[in-house]
Homo-oligomer: A and B are copies of this chain.
Amino acid sequence: MLQSPPASPGMLEHEIDTPALLIDLDAFEANLDTMAARLSGTGTRLRAHAKTHKSPVIAHQQIARGAVGQCVQKVAEAEILAWGGVQDILVSNEVVGAAKLARLAALARIATISVCVDDAAQVEALDRAAEHAGVRLGVLVEIDVGAARCGVQPGPDAVALAKLIAASRHLRFSGLQAYHGSAQHLRLPAERHFAIRAATDATRRTVEQLRQQGFECPIVGGAGTGTFELEVVSGVYTEIQAGSYCFMDADYARNLDASGHPVGLFRHALFVLATVMSAAQPGVAVLDAGHKAVAVDSGMPLVWERPELRYAGASDEHGKLVFGAHETAPRLGEKLRLVPGHCDPTVDRFDWYVGMRGQRVACLWPVAARGGLS
């Protein structure tokens, strides 16, 4: 089932059906501008991560501000972007299985498609898929720079894979994928510095070893919203893959700067609008948005501009707000904005973005790659 659009352009916020996924367009555009300004003149390009927004509409706004293209995690996401006119797409992890590789290779007829490998068998499988489709695929070697998840070890293992790629008739060696995911959410700047210095050292060493063997890296990619300024100043990374920056979420807002304050570079631009569906208990208001509507894997949502209301618990379809005896109780039927704990999986719960200018609905955009798991 596709969800019905919860609003129409011109409506006021209180008229929107809930739960609904709102974008504050002013904040969103400011975030895109801030990122473009931060990268301007650095020589590092943005390849924004579409795992966050799942929308060609948003991808094109990022590209219009200088992004070289988009990252995705899944072939289904690459399809939606390519079909929506995005010309340069990197699948920033491994794709395994003949059926998925055939779909990926087919996309290379209409867009520049790159993908990561961390296993020699995958190089062969990719070469075969590209040959069958009559295309050439870009391939990056993923190296593990701290997450201990995917990727070969930096150094000789990566060079060996690069040689295999370069020797394949239907592939081109496109560089290194070196993303340190867990570093994004380290709260203290010193922790992030330490983690990313180790990552950039390993990446630099690998780039140099590749160069000694005659392999240049057109792409050295990685970094996210939490650390991208560190990767930029390293001089090693050519592309950063930040995604969440366009929306921000409650979890990223807990990252601190050197003075102990939230980093504050980007604004909260994404909200789940919810309605008070029960106010029968003292000190409690129940919202119609539980964890089927707002992801709680990175903590509970916050109530926007109502810090006295605490979203204390999410069940499947209910969110339980609690508040002190002296606070003004939310009214039955009142609509409140929630700041999601984690923007990416929250976006994936909705078929529609409702774009707001102030209190008025300006536009509806489809979350076109929602549910793109495969």
A-to-B contact residues, CB < 8 Å: 1-4, 6, 17-19, 51, 73-74, 76, 80, 93-97, 99-100, 118-119, 121-122, 144, 148-152, 181, 275-281, 284, 286, 288-289, 291-293, 295-297, 314-318, 320, 332-333, 344-345, 348-351, 368-374
**Do B277 and A95 touch (CB < 8 A)?**
yes
Q: Verify A372–B1 contact, CB threshold 8 A.
A: yes
Shortest CB distance A294–B (Å): 10
Q: Nearest B residue to A97 by beta-carbon distance?
A: B275
Contact status B149-A332, CB under 8 Å: no
B118, B121, B181, B333: the one within 8 Å of A97 (CB): B333
Candidates B4, B94, B278; contact of A374 at CB < 8 Å:
B4
Q: Are B373 and A318 closer than 8 Å at their CB atoms?
A: no
Chain B residues with Cβ below 8 Å from A289 are 373
| Inter-chain contact A288/B181, CB cutoff 8 Å | no
Residue numbers in B under 8 Å from A277 (CB-CB): 93-96, 150
- B296 in contact with A122 (CB, 8 Å): no
Asked if A150 and B1 make an inter-chain contact with CB atoms under 8 angstroms apart, the answer reads: no
Residues of B near A151 (CB, < 8 A) are 278, 280-281
Kindly provide the distance from the CB of A99 to the nearest chain B CB, expressed in whole angstroms: 6
Q: Which residues in B have their C-beta under 8 angstroms from that of A1?
A: 76, 80, 368-372
Residues of B near A3 (CB, < 8 A) are: 76, 371-374
Residues of B within 8 A of A99 (CB): 17
Residues of B within 8 A of A318 (CB): 93, 149-150
**Chain B residue nearest in CB terms to A118:** B280
**Further 10 A-B residue pairs, CB within 8 A, beyond A51-B316, A292-B373:** A1-B371, A2-B371, A3-B76, A18-B97, A74-B317, A94-B277, A149-B318, A289-B373, A297-B297, A297-B314
The 27 sampled A-B contact pairs (Cβ below 8 Å) are A1-B76, A1-B80, A1-B368, A1-B372, A2-B2, A17-B374, A19-B374, A51-B316, A73-B316, A73-B317, A74-B317, A93-B317, A95-B277, A96-B332, A118-B280, A122-B332, A150-B277, A150-B278, A150-B281, A150-B318, A151-B278, A151-B280, A151-B281, A292-B344, A292-B373, A350-B371, A350-B373
Closest 4 A-B residue pairs measured CB to CB? A150-B278, A118-B280, A73-B317, A96-B277
Determine the chain B residues whose CB is within 8 A of the CB of A332 once the complex forms: 96, 119, 121-122
Q: Give the chain B neighbours of A350 by CB distance below 8 A.
A: 371, 373
Contacts of A292 in B (CB 8 A): 344-345, 348, 373
- Find the B residue at minimum CB distance from A288: B96
Complex CA distance for A320 and B150, rounded to whole angstroms: 9
Question: Nearest Cβ in chain B — how far from A189, in angstroms?
Answer: 23
